[in-house]
Amino acid sequence: MLVECDYCKSTIKRTPATISPHNFCNRKCMGRWYRIVRIRTEFNYCIDCNKAISRYAKRCGSCASKARPQRSCVGKSYDEIFGIERSKTILARLSASQKGKHEHVGKANPNWRGGRYIPCSSCGNKVWRRPSAILEYNFCSYRCLHQWQKDHYERDEKVIAKIKESLRNKWLDNDFALKVVRSWHIKPTIPEKQLSTLFEELSLPYRYVGDGQFILGGKCPDFLNTNGQKKLIELFGNFWHEAGSEQKRVNYFREYGFSTLIIWENELKIREALEAKLLSFDRGT
C-alpha cells in the first residue's frame, strides 16, 4: 500500500500492519518532523522566556532554577521571596487549585452531627464518643462494662449449675477430653523437664503424660507409673496452683484407685529432700 511521508511528501510503500498516524520515509524525515511540526502543536512554552518545552512543564530548566526558592528563602514570606505583585498571583493560583477539596471535612460535612462527651454508664466519668459510636449504654473501660453487667444482670444459679454439670459430664468422656487436650499442643515445662531428668537419675519408673497421653476422669496428670502400679505424680507450679488445693487432687484420683504424690515447684531446689520424698512414695513407705 502506498502512503505519503508526513515531512517530505514523497510516496512510500507500507504494509497495512505498519501504517501509523504519522509515516516517514527515513529517520531523517522523522527527526525533522519532530523538531519542526510536533514542537508547534504538542509542546508547551515556558511562561517566562517563551521557549519550547515539554507539554507537562511550565518553565524551562534555567527559568525554573531562578524561580525555585533557595535555602536562604526558608522562613520568609511569599512577598519577601517573589515580591508583592508576583506573590499575589501565586497565592491566587494556590487558592484556586485547592478550592472545593476540603469543603466536606468536619463540620462542613452534611452528615456531621458533632462528637461530644457523654457520661460512662457505670462510673459516671466523661468519655468522648463520635456520633456513630454512641450507644444506649456507654463505658469508659472494660472494667466498667463488666461491673455494670454484674450489677444489672441477675445470676440464675440453676442455669449456671446446669451448665457446669453439662461441662463436667463432657470432660468425663475420655475421648472428648483427649481430643481437647491434644488440640492445646502442650509441651513439658522447664520444671517438668527437671523432674523427668531426676526420674532418670534415680531410675524411677515414671514418664511424662501431661500432653494428653493419659486421661483419668477428664483430668490429665503430669507423670504416670510405667511398672503397672496405680501411682501418679503431679507437679504444682507456685503461680498456677493455690496452697491447700493438693488434697482435692489427691482425693479425685483416689476415686479411680490411684495414689497421687504432689510436688511443688519450689521443692525442686532442695534436691536431697525431694529425692527422699520420691523414693519413699515409689517404695510405698
- Full DSSP string of 169-186: HHHHSHHHHHHHHHHTT-
* Residue 162 pLDDT exceeds 90: no
* Residue 40 pLDDT exceeds 60: no
- Cell 525431694 belongs to 274
- Per-residue b/e over 28-39, b at no fewer than 16 CB within 10 Å? ebbeebeeeeee
Rounded CA separation 267/118 (Å): 54
Rounded CA separation 122/148 (Å): 6
- Residue 54 identity: S
Question: What length does the chain have?
Answer: 285
Would you list the domain boundaries of the chain?
Answer: 2-53, 116-152, 190-283
Provide the 3-class DSSP secondary structure of residue 192. Answer: helix
Alpha-carbon Rg for the chain, nearest whole angstrom, is 43
Burial of 6 (0-12, 13-18, 19+ CB in 10 A): middle
When pLDDT is cut at 50, 70 and 90, the band that residue 203 belongs to is: very high
**pLDDT (0 to 100) of residue 190:** 92
* Residue 55 pLDDT exceeds 60: yes
When pLDDT is cut at 50, 70 and 90, the band that residue 235 belongs to is: very high
Least confident of 14-23, 47-56, 223-232: 47-56
pTM of the predicted protein model: 0.45
**Among residues of the chain, what percentage have pLDDT more than 70?**
85
Residue 13 contacts residue 24 (beta carbons within 8 Å): no
Question: What's the mean per-residue pLDDT of the chain?
Answer: 83
* Residue 204 pLDDT exceeds 60: yes
When pLDDT is cut at 50, 70 and 90, the band that residue 99 belongs to is: low
Burial of 263 (0-12, 13-18, 19+ CB in 10 A): buried
- CATH 3.40.960.10 fits domain 190-283: yes
Least confident of 65-79, 124-138, 182-196: 65-79
